[in-house]
Amino acid sequence: MTQTFPTLQGKRILLLIAHPDDEAMFFAPTLRRLSQKQLQNQILILCLSSGDADGLGHIRKDELKKSALQLGITHPDHVVVIEDEKFPDSMTVTWDAKLIGNMLARYFAPNIANASTNSAPSASLDAIITFDAGGVSGHPNHISLLHGATAFLKTLMHRHTGWECPVKLYTLTTTNVARKYSSVIDSVVTVVTCVWRTKEKGAFPTPLIAKPSKEKSASLYAAVRAAVDTYSHIFVFSVENMRNTYLKNVRQEFNNDGRLFFGKTKVMAKALGLSEEHEHMPGLSKLSEHLKGNVGILCADRAPEEVLRFFEQFMEVDFARAGVEAARSFTVPEGVVYSTGGEQPVEDDVPLPHSLEATVRKWGMPTRLDKGKVMLDQEYVVCKEGQVLDSNQTALLKMFGIAMAEFKVKIVAYWSAATQEVTVVEEAAAEDVDAVLDDEVDGMEEG
């Protein structure tokens, strides 16, 4: 569970609430902030009851949709209210966490049962926001949502040990009774707390615009040189379709007999030596010539043949990002739109939730609603093989669970301490956006 709440941008976010009016009473500032147009978030509100304890459920449902539109939700279809006797509006009933988890899986990870353990788990969500274990007021319905969301994430990660969970869980912090009813007086406590946390942890700058630090550069420089002194072989590797999660898997593979650096290439090149006069060890200046683009350094004692063989067999598949070429064509058949876009037989699939119709239409699919079902009057070509993908296409591909990006690591060249010579394996790929960012951001090195 994530404790700090960073700026979420370009994310698919689920606000999970128990009753109509929860969105206004407890999450109004959050919705107003995250629904700002420049953030390009897609927000769905899922309410697990109509709040019918006093027989006013039909009125409260309507009020919820109107409130959500005022708070930044773009379409009333993005507000879904569940009316199920298993989820009664009650101050004395705790809802079944497993039922909630199964419902979330059915809506947002319909292929979870057939997911391969050799690929990353996926869902049509990036984040869930709900109540914490205190439920703000101790309301058992509120508290049940946390346990249900946790059950969903556990199901999502079942048999996927070692992978990063694709869905982040954020919760609303419960405050004590004294603060809750102290009105404006509590603003003093809030301000002091925020100032203290900012001084303690920094202002939470976005990593992509953080200014390089001389201290971090010096640390990376020293760490690279120390590793060169320790290990028998120094490899320069290139990365295709960079993903931090998968690079961590590579780092873990060599955790016991090597060290991997993926930071500022200019600093690493200088640590090796840019010329024969300044090289740390004989021959390393020829290796530093390959530190251009989206590359890193691996220092290891394993034989080069073993390292090369490992990377030849290592590949991870993930969702494509805008600007890359489609690895294959993908077309959604006409008729009812299903959650996998026709990738699975109809009997093994489920229809796309009607609440997402406006979203897919915004992304370019000419859909319509017919009796609560998302329909296409003719097949829709999302992409063709070799086509450069835009953000709408990648969003559709991710929603339908179509992974096209292959994360690969290739050895470009390596230096051996025994011979003090550099062996060139293949030329590094051209510098891409990730590499440009790496040159702008310092301090990404990890031991």
Taking the CA atoms of 412, 415, 416 and 420 in sequence, report the sign of the dihedral they define.
positive
Q: Over 90: is that where the pLDDT of 103 sits?
A: yes
Q: Reduced to 3 DSSP states, what percent helix, strand and coil does the chain have, rounded to the nearest 5?
A: 40, 20, 40
How far separated are the first and last CA of the chain, in Å rounded? 25
| Spatial distance between the Cα atoms of 300 and 234, rounded to a whole number of angstroms | 7
pLDDT of residue 247: 86
**pLDDT tens for residues 252-282?**
899 888 999 987 899 999 999 999 999 999 9
pLDDT at residue 160 in the model: 74
Strand partners, 351: 338
Point out the least confidently predicted range of 180-189, 212-221, 382-391. Answer: 180-189
Do the beta carbons of residue 302 and residue 260 sit within 8 Å? no
> Exposure pattern of 260-285 as b/e (b: 16+ CB <10 Å)?
bbbbbbbbbbbbbbbeeeebbbebbb
Characterize the bridge pairing of strands 335-336 and 316-318.
unpaired
- Contact status, residue 195 vs residue 155, Cβ threshold 8 Å: no
Structure tokens at 370: 């017919």
364 confidence band (pLDDT: 50, 70, 90): very high
Identity of the residue numbered 320: A
Q: How many Cβ atoms from other residues are within 10 Å of residue 96's Cβ?
A: 15
Give the model confidence (pLDDT) of 224-253 as tens digits. Answer: 999 999 999 999 999 888 887 788 888 889
In this prediction the pTM is: 0.47
Confidence of residue 211 (pLDDT cuts 50, 70, 90): very low
> How do residues 325-348 score in pLDDT, each as one tens digit?
999 999 999 999 999 999 999 898
What structural domains and CATH numbers belong to the chain?
A: 12-173 (3.40.50.10320), 214-318+406-440 (3.30.70.1730), 330-402 (3.90.105.20)
